[in-house]
Amino acid sequence: MFKFLRSNSTKEPLARLDRLFNQTISQLPVNEQIAYCQRLIESSKYQLSHQCPKKDSEHLKCLIKAADVEIQKLNTTGMDS
């Protein structure tokens, strides 16, 4: 049961995990949103490669997954336009 709860928390949308994305970036054109997500992934991976507290590493992993999902969603949306 606990594993289910933990894995469920990693599926939070980026807008819930990242206030800047929610309030500002999501209002920008799709290509800018994708660029932001890519930079977020890169910076989070960089921070993970250095020692950081376990709590922070779990949050960074969630951010990376959420940003990756957001990029996929934006790519699909961008193709429709």
Calpha distance 65→61 (Å, rounded): 6
pTM exceeds 0.85: no
Q: Determine whether 33 is exposed, middle or buried from the number of CB atoms within 10 Å of its CB (0-12, 13-18, 19+).
A: buried
| Predicted confidence (pLDDT) per residue in 13-57, tens digit | 999 999 999 999 999 999 999 999 999 999 999 999 988 888 889
Give yes or no for residue 3 having a pLDDT over 60: no
Confidence class of residue 59 from pLDDT cuts 50, 70 and 90? very high
